Amino acid sequence: MTSEQTSVRDDDATDVRQVAVASAVATVEAERNGLEALIRALKGPLATAFAQAVTTIREARGRVVVTGMGKSGHVARKIAATLASTGTPAYYVHPAEASHGDLGMITADDVIIALSWSGETAELRDLVNYSRRFDAPLIAFTARGDSTLGRMASTLLEVPAAQEACPLGLAPTTSTVMLLALGDAIAVALLEGRGFTALQFRQFHPGGKLGASLSFVRDVMRGGEALPLVRTGTLMGETLVEMSGKGLGCVAVIDAQGHLTGIVTDGDLRRHMANDLVVQPVERVMTPSPKTVRSDQLASEALKIMNAQKITSLLVADDRRPVGVLHIHDLLHIGVA
């Protein structure tokens, strides 16, 4: 291949990259414009309806049923999942399946959130009629308040019209981002309104990295016989035996009352290395007032401390008494670090 041919191929590749990046930027800008329009609406004409929707869901005796067709259906599934994971019982019902028996899953105590950008999705008809027949609250997410769905809704959240990122104006792009953001906004408003905590969040997320980060320190630490521990006055020779035997690279030092007074680490040993090290009392070598965490703190909080202090082991103390050691390897093992 000649140098001229190589140059042409490089130029072609550069053109492809530039076109792709320009398309990506235009897509994100279009979706950003849609979100900005939604923000303006929430600060203005949509505010009252949004607050009403949140109140309706919060006061409901049943669950939240989220529904939608096509791309709106995919968004509806995500909204239902977000609501459920943040303390609002919710599930997705496919509108076509609803017409073939799944309407029996919905009660008058439930709240229905129906998503349809046009508001004229044919598959929603039976579900909407069912909600009106049994007087189940119906919250509509649609861009057309004068549509069938908009007129039938007990609470109408009319999303502002926006330009789709798709250059053909056909594929739902900006519209689905806006519907998803509106659903997230409701979920977060409900979460904040009920004072939902990280510990409650953990109940619904016990698995994966997220669940691991919400584990308690007491669930991960090494305590009991695995805790390396000596009293003040102990000679460093005995301290080294305890430290080596437990294999955590540190040892906690307590006073006569059992209160934590210091820690000896590998770094302390290097700083005090001398021929008479083994006959020195531990308090001459230890680092006093070490950083600690409580056993009831989250593992993710402990990891932040370890990263900030640039340490691999962290003592766990309750009421000034050491109860365990948390090692970075333990956090890695459960997937926190």
Per-residue confidence band for 15, with pLDDT thresholds at 50, 70 and 90: confident
- Using alpha carbons only, what angle is made at residue 306 by residues 212 and 256, rounded to the nearest 5 degrees? 105
Question: Is 230 a residue whose pLDDT tops 90?
Answer: yes
How do residues 75-122 score in pLDDT, each as one tens digit? 999 999 999 988 899 999 999 999 999 999 999 999 999 999 999 999
Shortest CA distance to 252 belongs to which of 326, 328, 329?
326
Question: Is 215 a residue whose pLDDT tops 70?
Answer: yes
Question: Is 137 a residue whose pLDDT tops 80?
Answer: yes
Per-residue confidence band for 312, with pLDDT thresholds at 50, 70 and 90: confident
Residue 262, strand partner residues: 253, 288
Mean of per-residue pLDDT scores for the chain: 89
Distance CA 260, CA 257 (A): 9
What six digits make up the tokens of 298? 């989250």
Q: Work out the average pLDDT over 124-128.
A: 94
pLDDT at 259: 95
How do residues 237-292 score in pLDDT, each as one tens digit? 999 999 999 988 899 999 999 999 999 998 899 999 888 999 999 999 999 989 99
What six digits make up the tokens of 247? 């294999």
